Structures are given as structure tokens and as C-alpha cells.
């Protein structure tokens, strides 16, 4: 599984269109995602003060079946490989979602189902 912290407006738009997209797809050509072990650090670094964030669990096999290219690319700043999704994510590939509040300091807690 892959994980994406979503802003509420992007997640609401996905409910209407059937596809999750975020500003990074247009700006960089891919949607940033994380492995489970990377989610909390991603929240701390990039989602501070996001009380209405949503954590999406995305089935990588479903992305492949939908012809969404996934590549793990090296992020020098984090010294790790991160999954990048090179197309909109069909909602059929999002298997679960949870409220994922991130406080002002970037602290968040994984949903109990993922701990």
C-alpha cells in the first residue's frame, strides 16, 4: 500500500470527479506519496497546521491495473526513496481513508488500523 496525505478540498473534488489529484501533479508531473513508515515525517515536514487533512491508503496493484505509473525516486533531502504517481489516482485504488489531523508543529498520529 501507498499513502497520501490529502488536503480536504482535493479529497472533496475527488469525490465528485472519481479521481484524486493534487497541485503537485500539475506542478511537478506526479503526485507525491509515501510508504507507511514515511507518513509521520511527511506530515511533520509538509502538512503543519492541517487539522482537516485526510490520509489515503492506495493499493499499488490497483494503480498498475489502471495504468497509473508508479516510480520510487530518491529524495536527497530525506535520504530515501518515495513513490511518485504519474497520473490521477482513480478512487477505485483508494481502499481506505481516515481523518488525519496534523497540528501546528506537524505532529500527527497514525490511525489505529495502521499502528
Q: What residue segments make up the domains of the chain, in order of their start?
A: 2-103
Read off the pLDDT of residues 38-95 as tens digits, 9 standing for 90 and up: 999 999 999 999 999 999 999 999 999 999 999 999 989 889 999 999 999 999 999 9
Task: Give the tens place of pLDDT for each residue, 41-53.
Answer: 999 999 999 999 9
Global confidence as pTM: 0.95
Q: What is the pLDDT of residue 66?
A: 97
Phi, psi of 23 (to 5 degrees): -55, -25
* Residue 25 contacts residue 32 (beta carbons within 8 Å): no
Cell of 51: 487539522
Pick the CATH number of 2-103 from 3.20.170.20, 3.30.230.10, 3.40.50.2000, 3.30.390.50: 3.20.170.20
Distance CA 5, CA 11 (A): 10
Amino acid at each position: 500500500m501507498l499513502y497520501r496525505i490529502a488536503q480536504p478540498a482535493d479529497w472533496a473534488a475527488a469525490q465528485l470527479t472519481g479521481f484524486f489529484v493534487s497541485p503537485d501533479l500539475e506542478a511537478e508531473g506526479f503526485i507525491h506519496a509515501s510508504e507507511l513508515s514515511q507518513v509521520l515525517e511527511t506530515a511533520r515536514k509538509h502538512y503543519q497546521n492541517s487539522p482537516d487533512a485526510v490520509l489515503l491508503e492506495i493499493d499499488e496493484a490497483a494503480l498498475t491495473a489502471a495504468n497509473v505509473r508508479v516510480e520510487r525516486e530518491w529524495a536527497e533531502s530525506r535520504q530515501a526513496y518515495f513513490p511518485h504517481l504519474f497520473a490521477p489516482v482513480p478512487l477505485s485504488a483508494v481502499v481506505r481513508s481516515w481523518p488525519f489531523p496534523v497540528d501546528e508543529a506537524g505532529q500527527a498520529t497514525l490511525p489505529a488500523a495502521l499502528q
